[in-house]
Amino acid sequence: MARPRITLSEHLGITPGKRTAFMASLGFRIQSRWRKLSNTALADVSANTRRKYRDAIEVTSYSAESVTVELNDKFASMFEQGLGPGGVGTYGVFDMRKFLLGGGKGGKWPKAGRKGMWRPIPMMRSKGQAMETARQALSQQVMSGHLLEAKLKQIENKLSFMSGTVMGQRNGKSVVVRQGETIPAGRVPVLRDSARSVVAIPGDRSKPITHAQAHPHATDPFTGMIKVQGAYSQKKGGGGPNVQTTGFLTFRVISYGGKPWYHPGIRPRRIAKMVMNQLQDIIPNPMDPAR
């Protein structure tokens, strides 16, 4: 699907010598408005997603005759145009296996197994996200608020003080510099049914179900979790590398031999259309020196 873009081609009544500079300025005005509108339209997603979307808005070309501003990233296009059963440009619940196990281009994954194609999926969480997952899981158990907070404190201490797996670079590839601890099963309960969000299984609209029911956890979300740290410099006077925690990582396997991984879909935002509707306000009067 073509990338979302805005292209203007006008003479606007100014001399040829000034057109290129005017078109360039106009492109950056459109880019600025597009980025500003995206902050509001994407208020319901993470700050990192908003940043990636903003960074993808680029003035890709300008001349004396035209200027083009594009959303130059596939990930950002999912939020602009939506993502659903038919890929980018559609919207609705879909089984993620269709895209994650749909064959590669000669790469390492996915692989053919005894029960069909499969691949491991890395899931990186920040410490805050890991603690929110733990709170969701523990909140489903019957316990006092005091006991809940005590258990969460134990988990927070574990995440803070467990030894990390330190990653580095060798010949341009990521390598393990030092292997750290792995959290065993049972640290937090398996996430069960939750009414926080509701989706419907495709083909059975009569039975809306919760998001957790659509793709329930087979294991607890902390099983096999490691603390990932990056070695970024040597300590003064030797003694090994300084390290910085980048997140907490688990791997889960997705396969055609297992259960579907339903995704509720990504709602299209159509921010480019909002910008187009505001062009009268964005385009300056080339004869007005104040603009």
The string of pLDDT tens digits covering residues 260-283 is 888 889 999 999 999 999 998 998
- pLDDT for the residue numbered 149: 93
- pLDDT for the residue numbered 230: 78
- pLDDT for the residue numbered 139: 84
Q: What is the DSSP letter of 265?
A: -
Do 82 and 91 touch, CB atoms closer than 8 A?
A: yes
Distance CA 166, CA 149 (A): 30
- pLDDT for the residue numbered 274: 96
Tokens of 234: 């040597």
Distance CA 214, CA 210 (A): 6
- pLDDT for the residue numbered 5: 76
- pLDDT for the residue numbered 199: 46
20: left (phi over 0), alpha (psi -120 to 50) or beta: alpha
Tokens of 160: 């803070």
- pLDDT for the residue numbered 217: 61
Indicate the average pLDDT of the chain.
82
- pLDDT for the residue numbered 236: 55
Q: For residues 62 and 241, which has the higher predicted lDDT (pLDDT)?
A: 62
Q: Is 47 helix (H, G, I), strand (E, B) or coil?
A: helix
247: left (phi over 0), alpha (psi -120 to 50) or beta: left
User: Taking 70 as the threshold, does the pLDDT of residue 79 lie above it?
Assistant: yes
Give the residues across from 168 on adjacent strands.
175
Q: What is the DSSP letter of 223?
A: T
Do 70 and 60 touch, CB atoms closer than 8 A?
A: yes
- pLDDT for the residue numbered 10: 57
Distance CA 52, CA 55 (A): 5
Taking only the tens place, the pLDDT of each residue in 240-250 is 556 677 799 99
Residue at token pair 């902390």: 222
User: Taking 60 as the threshold, does the pLDDT of residue 233 lie above it?
Assistant: no
- Helix, strand, coil percentages in the chain from 3-state DSSP, rounded to 5: 30, 30, 40
Distance CA 268, CA 29 (A): 23
- List the chain domain ranges: 5-81+268-282, 95-263
Tokens of 195: 């009414």
Which of 4-8, 24-28, 171-175, 210-214 has maximum average pLDDT?
24-28
Distance CA 264, CA 188 (A): 25
Pairing of strands 165-170, 226-234: parallel
